[in-house]
Amino acid sequence: MELTKKPHHVAIIMDGNGRWAEKKRKLHLEGHRQGAESVKAVIRAAGEAGIEYLTLYAFSTENWSRSKEEVNGLMELLEEFIDDNIETVIEKGIKLKIIGRIEKFPESLVKKLQIAMQKTAKNSKGTLILALNYGGRAEICDAAKNIAREAVAGNLNPEQIDETLFSRYLYEPEIPDPDLMIRTSGESRLSNFLLWQLSYSELYITPTLWPDFGRDEFFEALSEFNNRKRRYGGRK
């Protein structure tokens, strides 16, 4: 597929694991396990397409409300994913970054995530960002708290605060805003994902459940992006 323009940064809300499992009369955790296979397929597809940044919404701040069994299973699945794929990520030259309040995760998982980020820190062939215990409102609140601390300490004049300055206090300010946001399962909402960064992103909604989403669906989204005109509020 020839793309005359492609997004630098693609963000994905990976939705539908539970519904996929229910349709097949399986446990939700089996849906998450199959969803992990889709993650691998999309990472490969993003590399094939030359996407520089890929952000995946893997665990939200709201996901703690799920059953203890499902949450514990997700924690174990995340550890398995890191164990099974970190060497491949290193070989492919991908840098791993995490956004979210991961300090609330089990210590063993936090340690593995930190080691994985350290091992890939010098890679430069693409960046994979996992949103873990992430919420867009939480990120904005954390940024506001840090700005307030700077102001109270006398290091920042509140009159200097504008959108550019505020952006510097977000979790990964050096990463450009997503050009394209993909949401699977047909739901048409942001679900507290990258609320600041998605202001001018193109949105692509597909009814495909995440465990059934793969290379072909990813390239279909890129093709749709390729055909859109981004006006940013202008009339051109």
Mean pLDDT of all residues in 29-51:
95
Q: What is the CATH number of domain 9-225?
A: 3.40.1180.10
- Write down the domain spans for the chain: 9-225
Closest CA to 158 of 167, 148, 143: 148
pLDDT of residue 234: 57
H or E element in which residue 82 lies: helix 68-91
Active-site residues, by number, are: 15, 63
pLDDT of 1 over the 70 cut: no
Average pLDDT value for residue range 213-222: 97
Nearest CA-CA partner of 167 in 178, 158, 177: 177
Q: Is the pLDDT of residue 228 over 80?
A: yes
Four-residue CA torsion sign, 130, 126, 197, 40: negative
- What average pLDDT does the segment 201-224 reach? 97
State the average pLDDT over residues 227-234: 74
- The pTM is what? 0.94
Q: Which residues contact 83 (CB under 8 A, 6 or more apart)?
A: 112
Is pLDDT above 70 for 236?
no
Q: How does pLDDT run across 79-137, given as a tens digit for each residue?
A: 999 999 999 999 999 999 999 999 999 999 999 999 999 999 999 999 999 999 999 99
> Which pLDDT score is estimated for 125?
94
